[in-house]
Amino acid sequence: MDTLKTLFEHPTFIKIGSLLVWIIVIVAIIGFFRKLLKKRITDLSIRYKAQKGIEIIGYTLIFFLILLSFTVKNLEDYTIIIGLFTAGITFTLQELILSIAGSFYIFFVRIYKPGDRIEINGIKGDVIDIDSIYTTLMEIGEWVSSDNYSGRIVKISNAFVFKGPIKNYSMDFPFVWDELNILITYESDLEVAKKIVQEQAELLLADYTEKSTAKWKEMVEHYYIEDSKLAPSIAINLTDNWVAVNLRYITDYKKRRATKHELLELIQREIKATQGIVNFASTTLQLLKMPEVDVQLKK
């Protein structure tokens, strides 16, 4: 018993024992994160890269623990070296570390996923890939109008998830509100115009209204948010030149441009069918009569 007691109290034995405990803890953490990634990440390629990244970080840490355990005799020196080493690595690879941390944040918190339409760091597009360092977007907008693809593929560092707001068009509520102004003359029958706009909007957008209502109920239950009107609604605005019939409606986030086009075609056709009861307006100018000038010339 005395021999065993002496052995357990020997500094070398304590050092080896502590090292083994740390190795077991690190291996257990690696295994835990591997299983967690397997459950949360469905994409095989991304899951493989993430698991390999966890293994490399864990085994690198084990290597340095073993190295420092047999080269440093003083525990205080050991702590200082570990601290300096960690600080140096963090400072040198801060952007890379932040990107890897951002990828884990994206996977676990689910702030966006492939297929979502987002805006991040002032760039808007559809997410087509997420890896351990970058999020890849198919860009929309820029020199093209509305929500059309520009043709450019943009890679954004995952670190940006910690640096600014992320606008997700499709996360929990894959619909957006849009507006359309129909400009008519003051001589037009306003009630007829309102009826045409309302009826055509309800006819075209009935499916969107029904689907968005179900989704909005889920939003109200999940978030602290007030209920909102999802059916098409009309507001009137009077200007110096025309009466603006403002239509507010909800549509699919990927079909905003197409929906506006279809609405304009339907409304234009119905307004033309009124044969002058309702007329589209354009900018008008009022010409004032010049005062008469009597000029007399003397010889």
Predicted local distance difference test score (pLDDT) of residue 244? 92
Which of residues 127, 149, 168 is at a domain's end?
A: 168
pLDDT in tens, 227-247: 778 889 999 998 888 899 999
Residues 158-169 have a mean pLDDT of 87
190 and 217, same structural domain? yes
CATH number, domain containing residue 149: 2.30.30.60
> How distant, in Å, are the alpha carbons of 68, 78, 85, 246 from that of 75?
10, 5, 15, 74
pLDDT in tens, 121-151: 888 899 988 877 888 999 987 877 777 888 8
pLDDT band at 195 (very low <50, low <70, confident <90, very high): very high
164 and 188, same structural domain? no
CATH number, domain containing residue 248: 3.30.70.100
How far apart are the C-alpha atoms of 216 and 232, rounded to whole Å?
15
Token pair for 30 = 């690696």
Lowest model confidence (mean pLDDT) among 68-72, 198-202, 252-256, 257-261: 68-72
How far apart are the C-alpha atoms of 239 and 242, rounded to whole Å?
5
What total number of domains does the chain contain? 3
Highest mean pLDDT among 59-73, 163-177, 265-279: 265-279
Q: What is the dihedral of CA 191, 193, 194, 199, to 10 degrees?
A: 120
Which of residues 92, 125, 158 is at a domain's end?
A: 92
Predicted local distance difference test score (pLDDT) of residue 192? 92
Residue 223 included in any domain = yes
Counting beta carbons within 10 angstroms of the beta carbon of residue 249, is it exposed (0 to 12), middle (13 to 18) or buried (19 or more)?
A: buried
Predicted local distance difference test score (pLDDT) of residue 11? 58
How far apart are the C-alpha atoms of 194 and 267, rounded to whole Å?
10
Predicted local distance difference test score (pLDDT) of residue 165? 87
Predicted local distance difference test score (pLDDT) of residue 72? 54
179 and 256, same structural domain? yes
Backbone angles phi, psi at 235, to 5 degrees: -135, 145
- What is the three-class DSSP state of 175? strand
Which of residues 168, 189, 210 is at a domain's end?
A: 168
52 and 135, same structural domain? no
Residue 132 included in any domain = yes
Determine what percent of the chain is predicted with pLDDT higher than 90. Answer: 17
- What is the three-class DSSP state of 237? strand
266 and 181, same structural domain? yes
> How distant, in Å, are the alpha carbons of 191, 197, 234 from that of 276?
14, 16, 22
Is 7's pLDDT higher than 50? no
Residue 299 included in any domain = no
Residue 297 included in any domain = no
The pLDDT mean for the chain works out to 80
Q: What is the dihedral of CA 254, 173, 104, 123, to 10 degrees?
A: 40
The two beta strands, 149-157 and 233-238, are unpaired
Residue 295 included in any domain = no
pLDDT in tens, 101-128: 888 888 888 888 888 889 988 888 999 8
122 and 71, same structural domain? no
Residue 286 included in any domain = no
How far apart are the C-alpha atoms of 193 and 201, rounded to whole Å?
12
Listed as own residue / partner, the contacts of 146-154 with beta carbons closer than 8 Å and 24 or more positions apart are 146/256, 146/257, 147/254, 147/256, 147/257, 148/257, 153/128, 154/123, 154/125
Predicted local distance difference test score (pLDDT) of residue 43? 66
Global pTM reads 0.61
One-letter amino acid identity for 262? E
Higher model confidence: residue 197 or residue 25?
Answer: 197
228 and 190, same structural domain? yes
Q: Identify the domain containing residue 195 by its residue range.
A: 175-272
179 and 150, same structural domain? no
Q: Are 187 and 279 in contact (CB under 8 A)?
A: yes
List the one residue out of 165, 160, 152 whose CA is nearest residue 133.
160
Residue 291 included in any domain = no
Q: Are 250 and 210 in contact (CB under 8 A)?
A: no
Predicted local distance difference test score (pLDDT) of residue 263? 93
Q: Which residues pair with 149 in a beta bridge?
A: 140
Residue 217 included in any domain = yes
